[in-house]
C-alpha cells in the first residue's frame, strides 16, 4: 500500500533545465526574471506570462514517474484581473496524451495558498502540467504562478 508524502517532491529549482534533472516549460514567459522554474523556487519569485489570457500552462518533467495525491498552487493577486481560472492538473508519460487528474469550477488561483486533492491518482506520470486561463474582461495581462508544489505517494 502506498503511503502519502506530506512534503513537496520538487526541490527549489535554479533554472528551467535544472542540474537536479527536473525540466520546467511553460506556455510562455514574460522575461528571464519571471521564468517558469521560479514557480518551483523557494522565496519571493514567480512565473509570469507575457500577455497570455487563455491556454496558460506550466509543466514539469519529473525524474521518474510519480503518483500525485495533492498539489499546491499560489497565484499573484487577489483581484480577478490576475487570478487564474478554470485550472486543471494533467499527467502524461509521452508529453502528447494527457490524463486529467483534477479540474473543476471554482478552481481559481489567487494569492492565497490553495491545496487540491487528486482523486485520480492510481497511475504514475513523468510529466505533470497545470493549465488554465485568465479573466479576459480585465486589461492586465501578466498572470503569474508564485508557487507550484506536487505532493506524491511513495511505496
Domains along the chain with CATH numbers: 3-154 (2.60.120.260)
- In the chain the first and final C-alpha atoms are separated, in Å, by 7
Q: Please, what are the averages of pLDDT over each run of 10 residues along the chain (155 residues)?
A: 70 91 89 85 79 79 89 68 72 93 68 78 89 52 63 65
Are 36 and 58 in contact by the 8 Å Cβ rule? The answer is: yes
pTM for this prediction = 0.81
**Cα-based torsion angle of the residue sequence 130, 10, 22, 97 in order, rounded to the nearest 10 degrees:** -30
CA 17 to CA 95: how far, in whole Å? 16
Report the pLDDT value the prediction gives residue 72, as an integer from 0 to 100.
81
| Nearby residues of 50 by Cβ (< 8 Å), 6 or more positions away | 28, 29, 30, 31, 141, 142
Total Cβ atoms within 10 A of residue 26: 23
Contact (Cβ atoms closer than 8 angstroms) between residue 101 and residue 68: yes
Report the candidate in 55, 43, 54 with the shortest Cα–Cα distance to residue 14: 43
Confidence at residue 140, expressed as pLDDT on a 0 to 100 scale: 37
Alpha carbons 23 and 16: distance in angstroms, whole number: 6
Identify how many contiguous H helices and E strands the chain contains and give both numbers: 0, 9
Please answer whether residues 103 and 89 qualify as being in contact, where contact means their C-beta atoms are separated by less than 8 angstroms.
yes
Give pLDDT, residue 141.
Answer: 47
Amino acid at each position: 500500500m502506498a503511503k502519502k508524502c506530506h512534503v513537496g517532491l520538487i526541490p527549489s529549482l535554479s533554472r528551467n533545465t535544472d542540474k537536479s534533472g527536473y525540466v520546467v516549460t511553460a506556455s510562455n514567459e514574460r522575461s528571464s526574471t519571471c521564468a517558469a522554474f521560479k514557480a518551483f523556487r523557494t522565496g519571493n519569485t514567480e512565473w509570469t506570462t507575457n500577455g497570455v489570457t487563455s491556454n496558460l500552462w506550466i509543466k514539469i518533467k519529473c525524474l521518474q514517474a510519480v503518483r500525485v495525491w495533492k498539489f499546491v498552487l499560489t497565484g499573484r493577486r487577489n483581484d480577478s484581473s490576475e487570478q487564474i481560472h478554470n485550472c486543471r492538473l494533467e499527467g502524461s508519460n509521452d508529453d502528447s496524451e494527457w490524463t486529467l487528474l483534477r479540474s473543476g469550477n471554482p478552481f481559481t488561483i489567487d494569492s492565497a495558498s490553495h491545496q487540491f486533492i487528486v482523486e485520480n491518482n492510481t497511475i504514475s506520470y513523468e510529466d505533470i502540467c497545470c493549465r488554465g486561463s485568465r479573466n479576459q474582461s480585465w486589461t492586465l495581462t501578466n498572470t503569474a504562478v508564485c508557487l507550484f508544489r506536487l505532493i506524491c505517494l511513495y511505496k
